[in-house]
Chain A
Amino acid sequence: MVEKVKPYVKDFWRYRHLLNNLISRDIKVKYRRSALGMLWSVLNPLLMMLVMYVVFSQIFRMTQMNRGDVEVNFAVYLLTGQLMYNFFSEATQTAMSSVLSAAPLIKKVYIPKYIFPLEKVAFSFVNMIFSLIALILVMVFTRTPVHATVLLFWVPMVILFVFNFGVGLILAAGTVFFRDIMHLYGVAVTALMYLTPIMYDVSILPDWARAVIPFNPMYWFVSMFRDFVIYGEFPGINAWIGTCMSALVALVLGLALFKKSQDRFVLYI
């Protein structure tokens, strides 16, 4: 087993700088010629949240998302959900086309190909860290009380990283052979967003939707993150199973599928 994994580890070690380089290139390209540069990464989620906050608080009259005696401002509730969901949707969507857009490279030199989806997930992770700053600002501004569990905020992020990488591998490999996956997945991400309690609480859902929602991995990621960060609770066993199992299944499936098809990529891109 160890012997089998060794060449992969060696390969990864050799190309770790490529990973760094690609991430910093993505950052450079993203902020080139914008006056505010990196600041946009914080500003963007703030402004998006502001828009949604205004819509929901003014039109739908939602201002508090309390649980028990913990009072939570709707803006904080919204931003925590968005943070997790945006990481998922950005990471998987960019990973999906990562192999295709690396075609010029893949056709010219040998590079371990999983680098490309991995890089996109890592880049989205960096973007999420910027959004985290926005979240902290909003939490301070709304005087949201913090609990000791907040120190574990990174746990769902790391599990979600693994989940995203697994899903990204599956999508990246699939898209090489069938471009329609790109269009389908865009729709799927939107549908899944409405099935994730980002701007509503599960209690408002009809029975059928409440029966379906446990099968949505993002539901578990979002609720685990909120438990840690705003409700000061340790997530229940279901949340752990929901997040860890979906990450594991996605990763194993993704690696297997990717490994099986990667030698044929160069013939289809």
Chain B
Amino acid sequence: MSMIEVRDVSMRFNMAKERVDNLKEYFIKRVKGTLKFEEFYALTDVSLTVEKGDVYGLVGLNGSGKSTLLKIVAGVLKPSSGTAVVRGTIAPLIELGAGFDMDLTARENIYLNGAVLGLEPAFIDAKFDEIVDFSELRNFLDVPLKNYSSGMVARIAFAIATVTKPDILIADEILSVGDFLFQKKCEQRMRELMSGGTTVLIVSHSIDQIERLCNRVAWLDHGHIRMDGPVEEVCAAYKSLGQSAGEGAGA
């Protein structure tokens, strides 16, 4: 059964040269007929299917549209055309700590962030210790978040987001935050979820990590799917890009 089905998705952004956000300019431009936007397609006719139990990787250079695609799957962005159907609950690890309020303490933020993710307070009560233990920040629980380092914030965010057993986990380069021990721990947690049947869609700029975790990979290039298939093939092709670029520079 497919968990995520992306069909012919295109995402158009208006790269307004000058941003028209006041009425006077809007009306003047409207009347003159000069209200124009530079259109920019971050994604063009992207289709992919993620089956249940897949660990699906997305690779591609900066700006190739990986984050945009994840946001569409997570429901944050509506595609300009095409459809993205998702079956099941999603734990989005797109940007960690959505809804964290830096003035509130870690304890308060755990509940706030839980609510942002649509979790029941009773559920968070029950899992509170698990979250705190995972993030290893018990001594800092009543300190406002603004006094935390970014790695510490990431720990809590990751712990909350993965405390549910979601059907689908979407992760965008989150494994690059935190120190190496924490990264290990995160990978461990993701493996646990996967073995529990969670389907994963992950973006990482570490090819090693993609090769370690994923079974299928799609390669995005300027908003198009350039290749899509088993992990070895796609990663090999993607890596050869680096070599040829290296050779080109060397020659």
A-side residues, CB < 8 A to B, are 14-15, 17-18, 20-22, 25, 28-29, 32, 104-111, 177-181, 263, 266-268
A220 to B116, CA, bound (A): 38
A18 to B75, CA, bound (A): 18
Residues of A within 8 A of B108 (CB): 25, 28
Instruction: Tell me which of B92-100, B207-215, B216-224, B235-243 binds A.
Output: B92-100
**By the criterion CB–CB under 8 Å, are B22 and A180 in contact?**
yes
Is the beta-carbon distance between B103 and A21 smaller than 8 angstroms?
no
Question: Given the complex of chains A and B, what is the CA–CA distance between A32 and B37 in angstroms?
Answer: 44
Return 6 A-B CB contacts under 8 Å, by A number.
A18-B115, A22-B112, A105-B116, A106-B76, A178-B26, A268-B21
On whether the beta carbons of B78 and A109 are closer than 8 Å, the reply is: no
Distance in Å: Cβ of B229 to nearest Cβ of chain A: 29
Within the complex, what minimum Cβ distance (angstroms) separates A165 from chain B? 20
5 A-B pairs closest in CB distance: A108-B98, A110-B75, A18-B115, A263-B78, A21-B115
On whether the beta carbons of A179 and B21 are closer than 8 Å, the reply is yes
Nearest-CB residue, chain A, relative to B161:
A109
Residues of B at the A interface (CB closer than 8 Å) are 13-14, 21-24, 26, 74-78, 92, 94-95, 98-99, 101, 103-104, 108, 111-112, 114-121
B22 to A111, Cβ gap below 8 A? no
Q: Is the CB of B115 within 8 A of A20?
A: yes
Indicate if the CB atoms of B104 and A28 lie closer than 8 Å: yes
Residues of A within 8 A of B121 (CB): 17
Would B92 and A109 count as touching, CB distance under 8 A? yes
Partner of B24, one of A21, A32, A180: A180
Given the interface pairs A108-B76, A111-B116, the reply to whether A267 lies near B95 with Cβ below 8 Å is no
Chain B residues whose CB sits within 8 angstroms of the CB of A20 once the complex forms: 115
A266 touches B104 (CB 8 A): no
CA distance A252 to B200 in the complex (A): 40
Chain B residues, CB < 8 A from A107: 76, 95
- Residue among B14, B104, B115 with max Cβ neighbours from chain A (10 Å): B115
Q: How far is the CA of A14 from the CA of B90 in the complex (A)?
A: 14
CB distance from B19 to the nearest CB of A (A): 9
Contact of B23 among A14, A28, A180, A268 (CB under 8 A): A180
CA separation between A61 and B220, bound complex, in Å?
76
Determine the residue in chain A with the shortest Cβ distance to B19: A268
For the complex formed, measure the closest distance between the CB of A20 and the CB atoms of chain B, giving whole angstroms: 7
A21 touches which of B13, B21, B26, B111 (Cβ 8 Å): B111
Q: Which chain A residues border B103 with CB–CB below 8 Å?
A: 29, 32
